A and B are shown apart, each in its own frame.
Chain A
Amino acid sequence: MEITKRIEKVLRSVFEDENIVLSKATSANDIAAWDSLMHMTVIDAIEQEFAVTFSFNEVSKFNTIGDIIDCIERKQ
């Protein structure tokens, strides 16, 4: 499964919302329930899914789903 789809699956599970559809341009602002605490949960869940760990420096540059995908690709 491509990375975007896998992240979409993670977010659907975290937010318990099957209607979430992601593109590389999607950001936290596009998902109403996304707040500071959810942010932490989302990052943890993505780290688990891809068996990677993000540093603060990396997380701080995540503005869109595309940024997360780029970071995962660099790590794989």
Chain B
Amino acid sequence: MSNTLTKYNSINLDSRISDGFLFWCSRTPSAIALNVDGKDYTYQEVFAKSLQIYSEIKQINEGFIGLQCVYEIETYAAILAISYIGSAYLPLNIKLPKEKIIGIVNDANITTVLCFNKDFDFIKDSTTAKIIYSGRNEKAGNIVLECKDNSELAYILYTSGSTGNPKGVPVSRKNINTFFKYYLNEYDFNSNDRFLQPYEVSFDVSVFSIFCAWNVGAAVYVVPDSKSKHIEIIKVIDEHKITVSSFVPGVLNLIEKYLDEFSFPFLRYSFFSGDSLNNSLAKKWKKCLPIGVIHNFYGPTETTIVCTRYIWNEEDSDIESRNNIVPIGKPFPLINFVVISDEEKIISEVDIEGELCLEGLQVIDSYLNKSNEENFIKLNSIRYYKTGDRVSMNARGNLVFHGRLDSQVKIHGYRIELAEVENAINKSCGKINKVIVESKNGLNYLVAVVQSDIKLDLQTQLESLIPSYMIPASFIFIKQLPLGINGKIDIKQLKEIAKLTI
């Protein structure tokens, strides 16, 4: 198209994440950069807002700043402003319990939190952090932007940590710019694209949605916060003719019954990450995308958003999916990986499961405060991040995800894969479910938590699908599986429910 401009190609490993935005702001100031809270903002308007916030924080010399997440332009402009002064942002989500937020502020030793309202005032009572209230409605006047470099970090995120203790993950400019370079080389994103932004800013995939768009002069459409976010996601894709979407696979479960009503002729790329992609649902979703392709990504926060990719197509995925779960594919070119056994020996054969370990420019050097060093391992004198995820490599060289390391268990001497049991339950009744392990008197047993209004007798059907030792000892039927704020099933809450019920 005639108004398509060439992409921004000047990303260096030490670029600030705002550099692409500033480039496009000077080239196409009146193009739409952001749609949030029902309103369009041009690059110039977002810049003006960011400049105002910059004027309020430019004296700060801290390596990172806590940032209150709100569903308004302020949070987005503040990420830019924090980047102008060369600091990292550490998003704080009001949806977390207060104690958790206080825990993060104390653990990271945050000295300044940038806020837009009084919701975070409780931080002042329990921590030494100072709050800066960004003034709304003030004009920036004649402020001159002088970018500086307080830190080599881009952002710090706290992962919920399936074991319970949140860990600070500091992602450097080197990490994130390696990630951006991959996308700008691999994809033909351009200034006509419209990116979907369905994530909380405290979830790292938001960095993809926001900054891949702003690195090519495209527009970001923020999905409104809602009690039916899956519906809002579809509405935004449809109403704003989204061309690049990324959302967690769980959304497909929630909209499954409507999938044959949809067609999204503008959607070019449909990306998934954050959880396992169900192959049957991917097939139904593909029918809604006349020109769109489905790419399935995988990556822990520690390896910067995502770092492996599988290009989905029906024929290959039918063969390669295991337990109806689409493979996670091959690592990005600058990521090195090994799969290791329980004895920490490198596995080179195909189809043998082990723990995935990753290394490369996208992998963080260490956690904040050098905590959790046990999550790193030196193999052949190279330092790898141990993902805690169990994978195998198939004959086509694609990685296949089998679950978390702790999702494979031994029951009465048999090795059982929880995903296989979950898949069998799903086949027998069509219900979403999660299988967890409980133990009593030193013996492990399986508990299936099934989302269903009524009690179901699944025993007979399961006997025809899986060996008897794989059939859960106990079934719990609940109206809804608990979800964490990122839309993933909350295992911790699930275990508590199981404890109360059994």
Chain A interface residues toward B at CB < 8 A: 14, 16, 28-29, 34-41, 45, 55-57, 59-60
B237 CB, min distance to chain A CBs, angstroms: 12
A53 to chain B, nearest CB (A): 9
For the complex, give the distance between the alpha carbons of A38 and B480 in Å: 6
- 344-387 of chain B: CB within 8 A of chain A: none
- Set B230, B234, B261, B451: member contacting A36, Cβ < 8 A: B230
Per the bound structure, the CA–CA distance linking A29 and B226 in Å amounts to 9
State the Cβ distance, B156 to closest chain A Cβ, in Å: 27
Q: Are A60 and B235 in contact (CB-based, < 8 A)?
A: yes
Tell me whether A14 and B254 are in contact in the complex, defined as CB-CB below 8 angstroms, given that A41-B453, A60-B235 are known contacts. no
Q: A14-B479, A45-B453, A60-B234 are in contact. Are A35 and B227 (CB under 8 A)?
A: yes
What is the total number of residues of chain B having a CB less than 8 Å from a CB of chain A?
A: 20
Number of A-B residue pairs at CB separation under 8 A:
51
A-B contact pairs, 15 of them (CB 8 A): A16-B479, A34-B227, A35-B480, A35-B483, A36-B483, A38-B227, A39-B230, A39-B231, A41-B453, A55-B261, A56-B234, A56-B261, A57-B261, A59-B231, A60-B234
Q: Within 8 Å of chain A (Cβ to Cβ): is B228? A: yes
Contact across chains for B254 and A37 when beta carbons are under 8 A apart:
yes
Which residue numbers of B lie inside 8 Å of A, CB to CB?
226-231, 234-235, 254-255, 258, 261-262, 451, 453, 479-481, 483, 487
Most buried by B among A28, A45, A56: A56
- Distance between Cα atoms of A57 and B262 in the complex (Å): 10
Docked CA distance A71–B451 (Å): 27
Q: Is the CB of B479 within 8 A of A28?
A: no
Q: How many angstroms from the CA of A39 to the CA of B230 in the assembled complex?
A: 10
Write the nearest CB–CB distance from B411 to chain A, whole angstroms.
28
Which residues of chain A are near B453, meaning CB under 8 Å? Answer: 14, 41, 45
Q: Are A41 and B227 in contact (CB under 8 A)?
A: no
